[in-house]
């Protein structure tokens, strides 16, 4: 496979962009090789600057549930652009999108639009602290909620402790208000509440997507809800990745619980920068200009991104069998990968919900970040490179989810499985 243009593009980018990329994972640091510089996409495929085609299981890290350059979404964007890009004033479209989201989900009475998942979670935390008049938060090791300082915190000497900054530039005075618990371990959450009597909220991905794909156990989520109620803490469910991806009701749809606040992103923007946070009206009404909690954004709710979101959600609503179809493909893919690996005695753990899936080169079930870190990342890197050379684009890290889009079909999935079988054979006999 000729990738000369990507090699040259990457070298050029590194001269003016730190690391040559505008988001670290894109640099292929954990899998090696040269990141592909993408020229265009259509449906299930992306095409690099050397015109190599790849079946794409990244789908812009989740937003493109209908694949690249979907004609329905594109048409909505083209019409919106003709009326102007941004006004810095309210539009009816913002209300339309918010009403769509509220009507299709649960736990949301009011909502505010922002530009990114990081903004959504950061704002939800500020709101939770103001509502409860408490300072501390509980997050889970391995869950990613954006790159705001309060959330770039990892476990300290052990889980259920106040965390340590996980990035230079995050000061200890901020991280000391973040307690870190172990995913799917309710005892670690109880320990956090025992450590601090000042917990404002718990924030969690009900379907974790940044330690690889790891769903929360149903009983764990129910117990988490009960603990929050007991300690008068808000439960924030981060649906930035899973919202309208795992199902119409995201992760919440898999659990018999209600959230106090929910964050959304990715799919609701249809590929454009757009996110949101919402929840109970009494909490949301603490936001300025109604209440005193300040939150703002120059391009929040801009008509271009909102138009893409409206079109995407409308298309979802018009396709009642969408998620069943996507989940069938995800099941077909993950089972196929597991069986292909098994023929060579390569242990592989797989899971899926709706159009989200993941796999770990691990001989035990993955329930938390410690389990995930025991996976064979070297094997993942070799497999990733083999599949890339065969025209299959998986996430360039063991610790990321994969995504199915509606432009895929069984024949395409079977082709990927066949290529995986080839890749495993080559790895074993090298």
Active site residues: 144, 238, 266
- DSSP structural state of residue 34: P
Which of helix, strand or coil describes residue 264? strand
DSSP track, 190-239 = HHHHHH-S-EEEEEE-SEE-SSSSEEPPHHHHHHHHHHHHHTT-EEEEEE
Query: Which residues have a Cβ under 8 Å from the Cβ of 343 and sit 6 or more positions away?
Result: 421, 424
Closest listed residue to residue 121, CA positions, set 23, 226, 261, 273: 261
Q: Exposed, middle or buried, 131 (CB in 10 Å: 0-12/13-18/19+)? A: buried
Closest listed residue to residue 348, CA positions, set 375, 373, 323, 321: 375
Q: Exposed, middle or buried, 345 (CB in 10 Å: 0-12/13-18/19+)? A: exposed
Distance, CA of 93 to CA of 304 (rounded, Å): 10
Token pair 């790891």 in the structure block, residue = 214
Query: Which residues have a Cβ under 8 Å from the Cβ of 61 and sit 6 or more positions away?
Result: 241, 266, 395, 400, 403
Distance, CA of 83 to CA of 92 (rounded, Å): 13
Contact predicate 170/149, CB 8 Å: yes
Enter the tokens of residue 72: 């329905």
Contact predicate 292/286, CB 8 Å: yes
Assign 3-state DSSP to the chain and report helix, strand, coil percentages, each to 5: 40, 20, 40
């Amino acid at each position: 496979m000729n990738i000369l243009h990507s090699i040259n593009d990457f070298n050029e980018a590194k001269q003016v962009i730190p690391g040559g990329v505008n988001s670290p994972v894109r640099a292929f640091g954990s899998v090696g090789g040269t990141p592909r510089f993408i020229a265009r996409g259509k449906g299930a495929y992306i095409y690099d600057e050397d015109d190599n085609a790849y079946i794409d299981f990244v789908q812009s890290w989740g937003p493109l549930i209908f694949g690249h350059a979907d004609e329905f979404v594109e048409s909505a964007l083209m019409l919106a652009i003709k009326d102007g890009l941004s006004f810095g004033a309210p539009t009816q479209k913002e209300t339309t999108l918010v009403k769509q989201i509220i009507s299709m989900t649960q736990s949301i009475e009011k909502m505010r639009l922002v530009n990114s998942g990081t903004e959504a979670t950061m704002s939800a935390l500020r709101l939770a602290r103001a509502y409860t008049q408490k300072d501390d938060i509980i997050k889970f090791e391995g869950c990613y909620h954006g790159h705001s300082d309060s959330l770039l915190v990892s476990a300290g000497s052990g889980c259920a402790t106040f965390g340590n900054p996980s990035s230079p530039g995050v000061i200890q005075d901020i991280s000391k208000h973040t307690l870190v618990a172990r995913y799917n371990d309710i005892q670690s959450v109880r320990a956090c509440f025992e450590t601090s009597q000042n917990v404002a909220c718990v924030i969690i991905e009900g379907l974790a997507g940044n330690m690889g794909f790891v769903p929360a156990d149903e009983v764990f989520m129910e117990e988490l809800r009960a603990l929050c109620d007991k300690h008068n803490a808000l439960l924030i469910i981060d649906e930035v990745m899973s919202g309208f991806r795992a199902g119409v009701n995201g992760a919440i749809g898999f659990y018999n619980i209600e959230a106090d606040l929910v964050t959304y992103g990715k799919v609701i923007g249809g590929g454009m920068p757009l996110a949101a946070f919402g929840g109970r009206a009494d909490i949301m009404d603490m936001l300025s200009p109604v209440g005193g909690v300040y939150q703002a954004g120059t391009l929040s709710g801009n008509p271009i991104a909102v138009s893409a979101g409206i079109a995407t959600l409308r298309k979802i609503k018009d396709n009642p069998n969408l998620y069943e179809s996507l989940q069938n493909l995800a099941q077909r893919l993950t089972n196929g990968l597991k069986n292909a690996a098994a023929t060579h005695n390569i242990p592989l753990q797989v899971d899926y919900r709706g159009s989200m899936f993941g796999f770990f080169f691990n001989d035990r079930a993955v329930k938390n970040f410690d389990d995930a870190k025991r996976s064979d990342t070297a094997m993942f890197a070799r497999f990733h490179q083999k599949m890339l050379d065969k025209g299959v684009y998986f996430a360039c890290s063991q610790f990321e989810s994969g995504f199915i889009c509606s432009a895929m079909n069984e024949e395409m999935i079977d082709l990927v499985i066949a290529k995986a079988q080839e890749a495993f054979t080559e790895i074993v006999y090298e």
